[in-house]
Structure 1
Amino acid sequence: MVSEVWRTLSRIFRIGRARFIVGYDLNKNVYYELPSLHGDPKRTRRLIQWNKAIAYPSDFNPKDIPIQWDAWMRHTRKYPPTIEELLRDRERQMIVQHNARVLEMRYEAERAQLESERESDHAEAIRAQTEREMHRIESIRAIESLTSAQGVDPPPSDKAGIQSTTVQPTRRRGG
């Protein structure tokens, strides 16, 4: 009991050790608070003792720090986060990730459905075009057989008329 009171008072009045353990995150990193170098009690120094040793400063990944602890380290949050708060946030993140996977699966299923509908519509259009072309060829053959049986020349085709037509440019007026 006395040791708890002493620890609380020493933490409040900065008596005793220069650095105090403030808390832990879910990755077992330890967060410390140190007194300010300039004597300003509002701007204490805060640091992390990593659970895993970081060989080079370039190995540091800011995403390794929970956002709550990052806010506390930057002095934008007055009190350090609790383990319960970190657990709730991790659970929230897992729910969001699950919902994102569900939405992605729905999107993929919808996209596959639209693609299959597009392919079936395309196949139907090709089939209809083929039928129209076959019907046109049959009608041309029927006309040719009728005209050859009657001894009449077949009507000129559209293709021949287009090829024989020549367009002459006209002179511009006023210039």
Structure 2
Amino acid sequence: MSSLSRFTTAWKHIRFPWRSIVYVGSDNIGNEYFESTKKINGRTKRMVELKVKKELVDYSGDEIPVQWGSWLRHTRYDPPTIEEIVLANKRRELIIERAKKLDQEYEEQKAKLASDQSKDQQKVPSEVEGDKKSAAHKSPPKIPVDSFEPEPWNPISKKK
């Protein structure tokens, strides 16, 4: 980081009395985050200036890291650090990698199960056909006739 960029960053961070907006930080994408110096209803207004300017219609929530999003919504008091965001990105990549591995194992098990079932179906068709013929000759199960009739309901009032 050059001395000029350090100076400009430090200059943005200083809370002069005449400034209405103060620079708080930036993320690894290049978005810059600001906070107003005046409190409205007990809270300061927090803003983001996206690196890539887009129309409001084209905006996507994926452009702001989760940690900065929580800071913008006042669910987090302190702004996140770059290290924290980098660690969160590494953790997310690791989870995605593990999920892909589990999906691959699942597909292999599914293919193995399908091949085992197809082998079993080739071996047993004669036994299954014999069971179908014997089942056709059996009579359907008899259900006992239900002669139950409910009594009329008469609620009993409680005396207090």
Which bin holds the TM-score, normalised by the shorter protein? 0.5 to 0.7
Residue 37 of structure 1 and its aligned partner are, at CA, apart by 5.7
In structure 1, distance between residues paired with 2:11 and 2:54: 31
Map of 2:114 onto structure 1 = 115
Q: Which amino acid aligns with 2:88?
A: D
Residue 20 of structure 1 and its aligned partner are, at CA, apart by 1.4
Rg (Cα) greater in structure? 1
* Stretches of structure 1 lacking an aligned partner (at least 5 in a row): 134-161, 163-175
Map of 1:47 onto structure 2 = 47
Q: Which amino acid aligns with 1:43?
A: R
In structure 1, distance between residues paired with 2:47 and 2:65: 14
Q: Which has the higher strand share?
A: 2
Q: TM-score, normalised by structure 2?
A: 0.67
Q: Which amino acid aligns with 2:115?
A: S
Map of 2:70 onto structure 1 = 71
In structure 2, distance between residues paired with 1:37 and 1:64: 27
CA RMSD of aligned residues (A): 2.7
* Stretches of structure 2 lacking an aligned partner (at least 5 in a row): 1-6, 131-136, 138-160
Map of 1:23 onto structure 2 = 25
Q: Which amino acid aligns with 1:70?
A: G
| Superimposed CA distance per residue, residues 67-117 of structure 1 (whole angstroms, 9 cap, x where no aligned partner) | 110110011100000000000000000000001001101100110010000
Q: TM-score, normalised by structure 1?
A: 0.62
- Secondary structure of 1:91's partner? helix
In structure 2, distance between residues paired with 1:59 and 1:37: 31
